[in-house]
Amino acid sequence: MTLVRKVARPLLAAMFVKGGYDAFKTPGGRAAKAAPLLERVAGPLGLPKDPELLVRANGLAMAGSGVLLALGRFPRAAATVLAVTLVPTTLAGHPFWEETDPAARKQQQTHFLKNLSMLGGVLLAAVDTEGKPGLVYRAGMATDAAGRAARTGRRQARHLARTARREARIAALQAKDAVS
C-alpha cells in the first residue's frame, strides 16, 4: 500500500467512524429528521418502519465500514458500503431545499455539498485497485487467454490431422509397392 493510501484512507474514514458511532449511540434527533424520508422508502424497500432502528443500523454500518477503510481491510467493499449509507444520510440530514431561513439554508447546503464531496471520495476508494488489475480486466484477460488457447488447439489438431493423413497415404503407397 502506498503512503498516500495509508494516509488518505484514515482521513476519509474519520468522519464516518465518528458520525456512525454518534448515530448508533444517540439516534434520537437523527431519527426524527430521517422519519419523513424513511416513511416514503421503508415500505417499497421492505425495511422496518422504526426510524431509530434504521438510524442505528446505518450508523453501525458507517462506523464499521469506516474502521475497515481506515485499516485498509476490504477497502473497496468498505468504501462501497460507505457510499450506500451516505446517500440516505445526506438526503435525510441536509434537505437544504426545504429550509426557508437563508442562513439555515446556506448551512444545510454547505453540509449537503460536503457529503457529496465525501461521496466522491468513497466512490474513488471503491474503484481503487491499488494499481492491480480489477476483476473486469482480469476476467477479460482470462477470456482472451482461453480464446487463444482454443485457437492454438484447433490449429494443432488440424496440423496433426494433416500429418496423420499424409502418413496414412505414405504407408498405403509403401504397402502397395511392397505387394507389387
- The one-digit pLDDT tens for each residue of the chain (180 residues) are 688 889 999 999 999 999 999 999 999 888 888 888 888 888 788 888 888 999 999 999 999 999 999 999 999 999 999 999 999 899 888 889 988 999 999 999 999 999 999 999 999 999 888 777 777 788 888 899 999 999 999 999 999 999 999 999 998 888 888 877
What is the domain extent for residue 169? 134-180
| Count of structural domains within the chain | 2
For residues 120 and 139, membership in a common domain is answered with: no
Let me know whether 114 and 153 are in one domain: no
**Residues 27 and 74 both lie in one domain:** yes
Quick one: 61 and 140 in the same domain?
no
Give the per-residue pLDDT at 134: 73
* Statement to judge: residues 153 and 122 lie in one domain: no
Give the predicted TM-score (pTM) of the model: 0.70
Position 55 scores a pLDDT of: 92
pLDDT at 36: 85
Of the three residues 83, 98, 127, the one that is the final residue of a domain is: 127
Per-residue model confidence (pLDDT) at position 82: 97
Both 29 and 76 in one domain: the answer is yes
Please tell me the distance from the alpha carbon of residue 4 to that of residue 56, in angstroms, as a whole number.
Answer: 32
The cell numbers describing 108, all together, are 444545510
Do residues 75 and 128 make contact, with C-beta atoms less than 8 angstroms apart?
yes
Q: Residue holding cell 426524527?
A: 32
pLDDT at site 74: 93
Residues 95 and 148 in one domain: no
**CB 16 within 8 Å of CB 73:** no
103 and 155 share one domain: no
pLDDT value of position 1: 65
Same domain, 118 and 149: no
Judge if 105 and 162 occupy the same domain: no
pLDDT, position 44: 83
Query: Which pLDDT belongs to residue 83?
Result: 96
pLDDT at 130: 79
Last residue of a domain, one of 127, 144, 162: 127
Residues 66 and 35 occupy one common structural domain: yes
Q: What are phi and psi of 143, to 5 degrees?
A: -65, -45
How high is the pLDDT of residue 71? 94
In a shared domain, residues 14 and 48: yes
